[in-house]
């Protein structure tokens, strides 16, 4: 009987110690969090945004910001997002505040977040209206490069008290980027045309100076549209180049449309089934999935290497 009582007491003591340890950990986390605030962040509009305490309710007005918040495992703070924020799938459970360029200001005010985080395409007049309603806004976007993406992830990690997770995400991205770049190094570069838009409203691609053009090169391809700057192209110029392959969005039946479009259907790559699809969001959104986009693009361009 004494042995049984002794065993029970031992177990109770262990649970008590574990409980104390957990309480101490929670208290330490609270103290660590509170010691970082108030915090001043200089945003992409060169504004000094002061956060008095860790923001616990956030509205995202950019798909890239939403994806980064999920990557940082801070989605429990997210109470609003735009109609364009469609990844990951369970983001649909979070209330929408409207479009990217015309968010519903009344809805944002009603939700009363601790912080609104926006990115490119965010209009300054929307910012001014939110500030008039005493809503704190942080605008974050970096240069169109991997370094720019790392910069935004780092700042979000700081704001959300997720620095360690931010470093983990960035290191994982860098590993993928290094792997791809080293894998395609010194390999023959197929000539690639990336379809952004086509048809009656004009032909668009990623020309010289665009980030997608840079990603094509990093993935081991030669961007045939590097002979123009910006996004607009011409079907005549494309027919003249007759690239080795075309890459288009996997959404909106884009591939089928290209296969039936005048001019495009005359291209050798289209005739010989070298028109490939990719989730363009992986390349268009300056967020944590960008490295995956590079990998998938490289796999299309150099299927024998991956």
Return the pLDDT at 32.
52
Q: pLDDT tens-digit profile of 193-203?
A: 999 999 989 99
Q: Quickly name the fold that domain 187-301 has.
A: Rossmann fold (3.40.50)
How much is the mean pLDDT over the chain? 91
Average pLDDT over residues 1-27: 43
CA–CA gap between residue 137 and residue 128 (Å, rounded): 9
Q: Given a cut of 80, is residue 26 above it in pLDDT?
A: no
What pLDDT is stored for residue 8 in this prediction? Answer: 40
Looking at residue 121, its pLDDT comes to 86
The predicted model gives 117-143 an average pLDDT of 95
Q: Tell me the C-alpha distance between 237 and 42, whole Å.
A: 44
Question: Which token pair is 127?
Answer: 């910012």
Q: Is the pLDDT of residue 14 over 90?
A: no
Split at pLDDT 50, 70, 90, the class of 173 is very high
Domain with CATH 3.40.50.1980 in the chain: 39-163, 187-301
Q: Which residues of 135-166 are buried (b: 16+ CB within 10 A; e: fewer)?
A: bbbbbbbbebebeebbbbbbbbbebbbbeebb
User: What global pTM score does this model have?
Assistant: 0.87
Tell me: the pLDDT tens digits for 268-282?
Answer: 999 999 999 999 999
Judge whether residue 302 has pLDDT over 60: yes
**Residue 1 pLDDT > 70:** no
Token couple for 280: 């363009």
Strands (E), the chain: 39-42, 48-51, 58-61, 78-80, 115-118, 137-139, 191-197, 203-205, 222-223, 232-233, 245-249, 275-278
Amino acid 34: pLDDT: 59
Residue 185: predicted pLDDT: 97
Task: Decide the pairing of beta strands 191-197 and 222-223.
Answer: parallel
**Which tens digit of pLDDT belongs to each residue from 99-110?**
999 999 999 999
Task: Please write the tens of the pLDDT for every residue from 70-88.
Answer: 999 999 999 999 999 999 9
Condensed to tens digits (0 to 9), the pLDDT of residues 29-45 reads: 444 555 789 999 999 99
Domain topology for 39-163: Rossmann fold (3.40.50)
Mean of pLDDT values over 110-132: 95
- When pLDDT is cut at 50, 70 and 90, the band that residue 211 belongs to is very high
- Residue 251 CA to residue 274 CA, distance in Å, equals 17
pLDDT band at 9, cuts 50/70/90? very low
Q: Each residue of 44-62: pLDDT tens digit? A: 999 999 999 999 999 999 9
Q: Does pLDDT of 175 surpass 80?
A: yes
């Amino acid at each position: 009987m004494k042995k049984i009582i002794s065993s029970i007491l031992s177990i109770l003591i262990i649970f008590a110690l574990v409980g104390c340890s957990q309480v101490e950990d929670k208290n330490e986390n609270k103290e660590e969090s509170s010691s970082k605030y108030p915090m001043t962040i200089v945003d992409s509009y060169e504004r000094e945004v002061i956060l008095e305490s860790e923001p616990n309710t956030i509205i995202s007005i950019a798909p890239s910001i939403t994806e980064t918040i999920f990557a940082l495992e801070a989605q429990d703070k997210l109470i609003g997002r735009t109609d364009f924020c469609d990844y990951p799938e369970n983001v649909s459970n979070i209330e929408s505040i409207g479009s990217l360029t015309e968010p519903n200001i009344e809805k944002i005010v009603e939700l009363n977040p601790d912080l609104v985080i926006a990115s490119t395409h965010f209009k300054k007049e929307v910012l001014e209206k939110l500030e008039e309603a005493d809503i704190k806004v942080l605008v974050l976007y970096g240069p169109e490069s991997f370094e720019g993406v790392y910069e935004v992830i780092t700042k979000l990690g700081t704001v959300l008290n997720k620095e360690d997770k931010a470093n983990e995400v960035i290191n994982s991205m860098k590993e993928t980027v290094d792997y791809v770049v080293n894998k395609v190094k010194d390999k023959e570069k197929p000539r690639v045309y990336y379809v952004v838009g086509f048809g009656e409203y004009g032909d668009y691609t990623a020309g010289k100076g665009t980030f997608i053009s840079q990603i094509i090169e990093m993935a081991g391809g030669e961007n045939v549209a590097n002979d123009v700057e910006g996004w607009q192209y011409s079907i005549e110029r494309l027919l003249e180049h007759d690239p080795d392959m075309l890459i288009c969005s996997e959404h909106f039946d884009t591939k089928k449309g290209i296969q039936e479009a005048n001019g495009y259907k005359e291209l050798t790559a289209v005739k010989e089934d070298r028109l490939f699809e990719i989730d363009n969001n992986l390349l268009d959104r300056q967020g944590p999935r960008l490295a995956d986009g590079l990998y998938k693009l490289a796999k299309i361009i150099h299927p024998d290497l991956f």
